[in-house]
């Protein structure tokens, strides 16, 4: 097996690890491995290839990982945008500080009150904020 092939196989293994453990950690190593495989076409010196791998791993941790983590924020995970904040919704299950449900745009959402008050079903509420998939209302 040629050296660059081994390095590419390592890069593929890092991509597979990233698929099973999505932490934006192994993706940095995969990128560094693919760059190192390209550099191995020009040199076979192990010290140079190891240095290239470590340098590009370090650089991708500093520059690439923060960009990917920022892109993977809570809003993009849940798909909840600010279009719900300030909107009126109908209470379909009594809402208190621990449980309840509302309906808005023909969608059912879990809802909570921030002050612990009880809002009966059939009432109209205003959404003040969301936390993941829970709407907080008043």
Domain ranges of the chain: 3-72, 78-137
Sign of the Cα torsion 6, 55, 20, 67 reads negative
What is the pLDDT, as a whole number, of residue 59?
93
| 90 and 122 Cβ atoms separated by less than 8 Å | yes
- Show the tokens assigned to 99: 């449980």
**CA–CA dist 135, 7 (Å, integer):** 48
Outline where 89-129 has alpha helix (H): none
- Report the pLDDT averaged over residues 51-80: 75
**CATH fold of 78-137, please?**
OB fold (Dihydrolipoamide Acetyltransferase, E2P) (2.40.50)
- Looking from the CA of 10 toward its CB, the CA atoms found within 13 Å total 17
Q: Is 52 exposed, middle or buried (0-12, 13-18, 19+ CB in 10 A)?
A: buried
- pLDDT, tens digit, for every residue of 42-58? 988 999 999 999 999 99
**CA–CA dist 123, 63 (Å, integer):** 49
| 123 and 91 Cβ atoms separated by less than 8 Å | yes
| 88 and 124 Cβ atoms separated by less than 8 Å | yes
Q: Residue 8: which of 73, 71, 53 has the closest Cα?
A: 53
Give 80's pLDDT tier (boundaries 50, 70, 90).
Answer: low
Mean pLDDT of the residues in the chain: 86
């Amino acid at each position: 097996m040629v050296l660059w092939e081994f390095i590419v196989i390592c890069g593929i293994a890092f991509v597979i690890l990233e698929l099973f453990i999505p932490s934006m950690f192994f993706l940095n190593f995969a990128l560094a491995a693919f760059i190192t495989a390209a550099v191995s076409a020009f040199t076979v010196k192990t010290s140079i290839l190891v240095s290239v791998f470590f340098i590009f791993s370090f650089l991708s941790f500093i520059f690439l990982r923060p960009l990917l983590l920022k892109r993977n924020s809570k809003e993009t995970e849940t798909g909840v945008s600010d279009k719900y904040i300030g909107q009126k919704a109908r209470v379909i299950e009594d809402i208190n500080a621990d449980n309840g449900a509302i309906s808005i745009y023909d969608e059912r959402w879990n809802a909570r009150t921030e002050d612990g008050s009880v809002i009966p079903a059939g009432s109209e509420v205003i959404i003040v904020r969301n936390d993941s998939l829970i709407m907080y209302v008043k």
